[in-house]
Amino acid sequence: MLTAEHINCSYGKKQVLFDVSLNVNRGDIALLIGSNGSGKSTLFKCLYKLKSFTQETGSAFIFDDHDLSKTKTQNLLKTGLAYIPQSGFYYEQLTVRENLEIPALNDDRPERKRKMEEILAIFPMLAPTLEKRPAQISGGERQLMNLAATLQHRPAMLLLDEPFNGLSLKNLEMVRAQLTNLHQQTGCTILMIEHRIKEALPMANRLFGLKLGRMKEVGLGDKTNIEESITAILI
């Protein structure tokens, strides 16, 4: 689904990513972990072409048969690749309903209504929040609002930067359950950064670690080795 090879990225003279390669298969829920400053969010920005980077000559950068090296950032969503940053994206002055309607503004009224019904079928817990503003709902509900708005574009793959960040355990469990349901219902591939590893790991079938800007995949077969590998990545 997504192949990116030999990515190098710097901020000024400080190199952050060193020859990073990543291969995510269709249908994966892949978890990317690492300590603060290891380059996780920078990698996502590179994948979504929000940060410039370099590759070795001939290196692949492909998503679902699209050569991303030739695709502009504003066209990535049309290829089926969506990105939700850690801070999310929404308009505080608008209601939840209005935020959810923004991606469908170019559709006619019946289509907008159909999409709203589709969203509420996937995220029924958003129905009571529709006339509220984002500041009046929980962090978990805001995260689901971001997901619901993004899903109107029918992405084949989601890049999620810390979807559990700042959530209470109750809200975290709600978001985790909805992400799992989304994956089961739509087959959407997910690559997520998350510091709350214990809570995120049960969802994942792939585990990647970034340490000092270098990538390593961790096998999920042996629980003891997983714990040791995670500790080694985070220290």
pLDDT less than 50: residues of the chain: none
Give the CATH number of the domain where residue 129 resides.
3.40.50.300
For residue 230, being part of any structural domain is answered with yes
Residue 191 confidence (pLDDT): 97
Closest CA to 123 of 92, 139, 145, 101: 145
What pLDDT, on the 0 to 100 scale, is given for residue 82? Answer: 94
- Counting beta carbons within 10 angstroms of the beta carbon of residue 172, is it exposed (0 to 12), middle (13 to 18) or buried (19 or more)? buried
> Does 108 reside within a domain?
yes
User: For the chain, how long is the longest CA-to-CA vector?
Assistant: 55
- The pLDDT assigned to 13 comes to 92
Q: Considering the domain boundaries, does residue 116 fall inside one?
A: yes
| Three-class SS state of 189 | strand
- Residue range(s) defining the domain that contains residue 191: 20-44+80-234
Which pLDDT score is estimated for 159? 96
Task: Return the percent helix, strand and coil in the chain, to nearest 5.
Answer: 45, 25, 35
What is the structure's pLDDT at 3? 97
Asked if 157 contacts 65 with a C-beta cutoff of 8 angstroms, the reply is: no
Query: What is d(CA 189, CA 78) in angstroms, rounded to the nearest whole number?
Result: 16
Structural domain count of the chain: 1
Identify the pLDDT of residue 121: 86
Give per-residue pLDDT as tens, 157-176. 999 999 888 888 888 888 89
Tens digits of per-residue pLDDT, 178-203?
A: 889 889 888 899 999 999 999 999 99
Task: Tell me the β-bridge partners of 193.
Answer: 32, 161
8 located within any domain: no
3-state SS string for 155-182: CCEEEEECCCCCCCHHHHHHHHHHHHHH
Q: What is the pLDDT of residue 124?
A: 87
Q: What's the pLDDT score for residue 197? A: 94
Q: Work out whether the CA dihedral 46, 64, 35, 18 comes out positive or negative.
A: negative
